[in-house]
Structure 1
Amino acid sequence: MNSFSLADEMKLPCQKMSGLAALKTRYRPFICPLDMVLAKIPEGARLYDIGCGTGALLYLALKLRSVKVAHGYDISREAVKASEAFAIKSEIFQVRHLHPEETPPDLHGYDTVTMIDVLHHIPPKLQDDFLRKTISQMDSGARLIIKDIEASKIIGSFMNQLHDLLLAREWVHQRRSSDLVQVFQSMGATVSRPILRWTLWYPHFQIVVLVP
């Protein structure tokens, strides 16, 4: 499982998408280390993806991790519409639209929740509260997998800032993984040691949080 194989898995669905959604979905594995995320999703998990975009991670988890449930939401109506290209007509795969004030949703019943490149789009004063609310909506013993941009890598995080200004037209707010570890530990959660991975000029970190 690598960037090339993951991009190849999404070739056919992306042909049914159009414009920027197709381009971002097909080539995202070369920018975002989705293989690192997938490796931490247990086989047969009940998965929920916060900020799932077009649902690419959910689709890959169905195919490569045999998850029993692949649900998620995004605040972009365009991304949710594009998720129809994956053509999975069942209750197993569901991508829905939510307004920011409706998030996070009820996450009870899911043993694995992912949050990939979402946190840095949330205003700094709201980030910790969003994480606390997310944990409170999950079952005890469930795992939260967070992948985001490592703020301590100054040049790399600046390059990601330019990336989001260009594609999302948004000024983002990256965090240090060490800070997030402390935030979750203050909630009584067990947190894995952060893993750092570079793709191109982007510094990514991943942590796995076990809900108390």
Structure 2
Amino acid sequence: MSSALASFQETARLLYAEASPLVRFMQRGRPYICPMDLLVRQVPAGAQIFDIGCGSGLLSLHLVRTNHIRGSMGVDTSSDAIESARRAAANLSDQLRGRTQFEVVNGTDDWPDSQFDAVMMIDMMHHVPVSIRRTLFLEAAQRVKRGGRLIYKDMRSQPVWRASMNRLHDLVMARQWITYCPSETVREWAGEAGLKLSLHQTYDALWYAHELMSFDR
């Protein structure tokens, strides 16, 4: 087991011990599926981050627990996921607990107006209706301060067999038939928002195919 994987496993074990069996299983298994260590490398040290579609908060909480960032604001449309994130955050040390915030949102109108050192959109765009994806991305880009970074990761549509396995995953876990957002489209939106591509990387884990892009302002 790599040191990065072991570190995430420790975060999952320590913070989600009181979660439901399903949430515990998902948080402990996520580092095997998602290249979390690559994401951590893209987050500037000492950053204040905005985690859009944060789910149960594992990445944000790990960044806080390991003192990689100054603080985090996580939002998600799922009240169950946010409740899981808040319960996990309660298991942080007294010193760190106040550096996290998790809120349920219904749309971008509920997002904070402030800007952040880093904005994260991790594995969420394929769940977003096609009709609002551009608006959501541009709203996210507006939250990136000058000198800041937008970190975007989603599942790849190729090869087809890996994309099909991820579709099956989301059909079972989220009860949703997902659609992929082409990376060329995301890059166009980023250019429209005044962001410059600084990293474009693909990664395979188990039967999942990932695509990571970082954009700087």
Output the TM-score relative to the length of structure 1: 0.90
1:28 to 1:116, Cα distance in 2 relative to 1, 3 A: same
Structure 1 position 173, deviation (Å): 1.5
Residue 145 of structure 2 corresponds to 139
Residue 180 of structure 2 corresponds to 174
Corresponding residue pairs, total: 210
Letter in structure 2 aligned against 1:114: M
- Tell me the alpha carbon deviations over residues 81-129 of structure 1, each in whole angstroms, 9 at most, x when there is no partner: 11212324643111111123645x1352411111110111001122112
1:177 to 1:101, Cα distance in 2 relative to 1, 3 A: closer
Residue 159 of structure 1 corresponds to 165
- 1:85 is the counterpart of 2:88: yes
Letter in structure 1 aligned against 2:201: I
1:210 to 1:34, Cα distance in 2 relative to 1, 3 A: same
The separation in 1 between residues aligned to 2:157 and 2:134, in whole angstroms, is 16
Residue 103 of structure 2 corresponds to 96
- 1:43 is the counterpart of 2:45: yes
- The answer to whether the Cα contact below 8 Å between 1:7 and 1:28 also exists between their aligned partners in 2 is no
Letter in structure 2 aligned against 1:59: L
Structure 1 position 65, deviation (Å): 4.7
Task: Give 5+ residue unaligned stretches, structure 2.
Answer: none
Secondary structure of the residue aligned to 1:12 is helix
- 1:23 is the counterpart of 2:25: yes
Between the aligned residues of both structures, percent identity stands at 28
The separation in 2 between residues aligned to 1:109 and 1:201, in whole angstroms, is 36
Task: Give 5+ residue unaligned stretches, structure 1.
Answer: none
Letter in structure 1 aligned against 2:28: R
- 1:201 is the counterpart of 2:203: no
- The answer to whether the Cα contact below 8 Å between 2:76 and 2:103 also exists between their aligned partners in 1 is yes
Structure 1 position 153, deviation (Å): 2.7
Structure 1 position 177, deviation (Å): 2.1
The separation in 1 between residues aligned to 2:211 and 2:143, in whole angstroms, is 24
Q: Residue 11 of structure 2: which of 9, 25, 38 is its match?
A: 9
1:107 to 1:60, Cα distance in 2 relative to 1, 3 A: farther
- The answer to whether the Cα contact below 8 Å between 1:177 and 1:194 also exists between their aligned partners in 2 is no
Letter in structure 1 aligned against 2:125: L
The separation in 1 between residues aligned to 2:44 and 2:141, in whole angstroms, is 19
Output the TM-score relative to the length of structure 2: 0.88
Letter in structure 2 aligned against 1:209: F
More strand by share: 2
Secondary structure of the residue aligned to 2:147 is coil
Residue 196 of structure 2 corresponds to 190
1:6 to 1:196, Cα distance in 2 relative to 1, 3 A: same
The separation in 1 between residues aligned to 2:114 and 2:31, in whole angstroms, is 29
The separation in 1 between residues aligned to 2:141 and 2:132, in whole angstroms, is 14
Secondary structure of the residue aligned to 1:94 is strand
Q: Aligned-residue CA RMSD in angstroms?
A: 1.8
